Amino acid sequence: MPADNALLAAGVGVVLCGPAAFFLGPWLMRTIPEPELEEGDSKVLYADLAGPRAAYWCGGLAGVSGGLLGWALGTNAGLAAWLLLAVAGAVLGYIDARTRFLPSVIIWPTYGVVALALVIAALASGEWGSLRRAAIAGVIGFGVFWVLWYVFPVGVGFGDVRLSGLLGIALGWLGWGEFASGLYGGFLFGAVVGIVLIVARVKTRKDMVPFGPYMLLGALAGVFVGDSLARLYTG
């Protein structure tokens, strides 16, 4: 069921997020510094990605995500934070898919703008409980992924840890159902796609795949199904 003013919010999401990521994505890829690599490692240079292909992919992903978020959230006070996250997420997802790196110089500032947008949303709506839940969820999400990284660093990178806290904040604003299903959804999507690629012999079990895009996709799915799953679980 669409949210209040869903069509208007969806249109705003498409119009704002698509062009923003189209121009911002390649600019960031040209300007962000390269990470320090361990001996023997290599990666595609960020600047080499900053072409029309990146612009269209980032703009398209952000536009679709913004439209879906607007449709799902409508006039929810947290919509602005989620649209900001859609822009950053599209750029991060594209970079991770091409390089298997999630640049911290994009993630950390996104924490700031998303948190600021949620504080403004709480001031405007009085939803201080949602803001408190967002902060707690961000800490929990970061902590869970930190443990996974510590125990299994080959499977979870520290960029995924940073991203988990950011997604946890945004999902926590909406509710615990959205938070739980959004973070778990990344593992589900990653497992399903991984099995399909192995069966199709595109990948082998030893191949590493970027997890960031699946985390972002899981978070988007959590926005849509989290509340329903929470209601089903609690009866």
Q: Where are the domains of the chain?
A: 6-234
Which amino acid, 217? L
Indicate whether 205 pLDDT > 60: no
pLDDT higher than 80, residue 232: no
Q: Using alpha carbons, list the distances in angstroms from residue 209 to 29, 170, 205, 220.
A: 21, 25, 10, 20
Q: Per-residue confidence at 200, pLDDT binned at 50, 70, 90? A: low
Q: What is the pTM of this model?
A: 0.92
Q: Closest Cα to residue 109, out of 15, 31, 199?
A: 31
Residue 17 predicted with pLDDT over 60: yes
Question: Greater confidence, 106 or 191?
Answer: 106
